[in-house]
């Protein structure tokens, strides 16, 4: 599947090919910290198909709990995490962050990794109240019933 994506501010744009059957959720503590959430969703680009169309991401190398080193790439302007790769191999092998892909609604996770680190409350997520848009926040009383359009 051909995809394209960008950072939040649009400074960095890319294209690649992915196999939708390879979309994963990672619950490792690094992915929780990097995403600012309970997990991160990623899909590997087919080897050799990832192309930066504009901009140049900032990069740093992190050693994960597994002992593997991963180069993390993100926009230096808006901070959007775009992909990770083994150090020195970003031109060939990248794991794209699904949230930065324009066609993300077509990329449904098929597997979950590092479940021993997953937030236990995720199992009850379907029972939590759902609101279609962001509720208006009242500093005195929390979120109300009206929404921001």
Residue 29, in any domain of the structure:
yes
Number of domains in the chain: 1
Residue 126, in any domain of the structure:
no
Residue 132, in any domain of the structure:
no
Residue 40, in any domain of the structure:
yes
Q: What are the DSSP calls for 92-149, one per residue?
A: T--EEEGGGBTTGGG----EEE-GGGS-GGGGGGGGS---SSPEEEETTTEEEEEE--
Residue 67, in any domain of the structure:
yes
- pLDDT at position 148: 59
Residue 146, in any domain of the structure:
no
Residue 130, in any domain of the structure:
no
Tens-of-pLDDT digits for all 149 residues of the chain?
999 999 999 999 999 999 999 999 999 888 888 888 888 999 999 999 999 999 999 999 989 878 888 899 999 999 999 999 888 776 677 999 999 999 999 999 999 998 898 888 888 877 877 777 777 776 776 666 665 55
Tell me the chain's radius of gyration from C-alpha atoms: 17
Domain CATH number, residue 87: 2.170.150.70
pTM: 0.81
Strand pairing of 40-44 and 95-97? Answer: antiparallel
Angstrom distance (rounded) from CA 6 to CA 18: 15
């Amino acid at each position: 599947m051909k995809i394209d994506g960008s950072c939040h501010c649009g400074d960095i744009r890319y294209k690649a090919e992915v196999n939708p059957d390879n979309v994963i959720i990672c619950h490792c503590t690094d992915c929780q910290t990097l995403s600012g959430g309970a997990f991160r969703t990623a899909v590997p680009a087919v080897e050799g198909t990832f192309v930066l169309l504009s901009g140049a991401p900032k990069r740093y190398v992190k050693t994960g709990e597994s002992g593997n080193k991963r180069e993390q790439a993100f926009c230096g302007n808006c901070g959007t995490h775009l992909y990770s790769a083994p150090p020195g191999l970003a031109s060939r092998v990248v794991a794209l962050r699904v949230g930065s892909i324009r066609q993300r609604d077509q990329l449904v996770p098929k597997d979950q990794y590092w479940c021993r680190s997953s937030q236990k409350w995720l199992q009850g997520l379907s029972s939590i109240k759902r609101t279609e848009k962001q509720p208006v926040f009242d500093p005195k009383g929390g979120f109300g019933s009206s929404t921001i359009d």
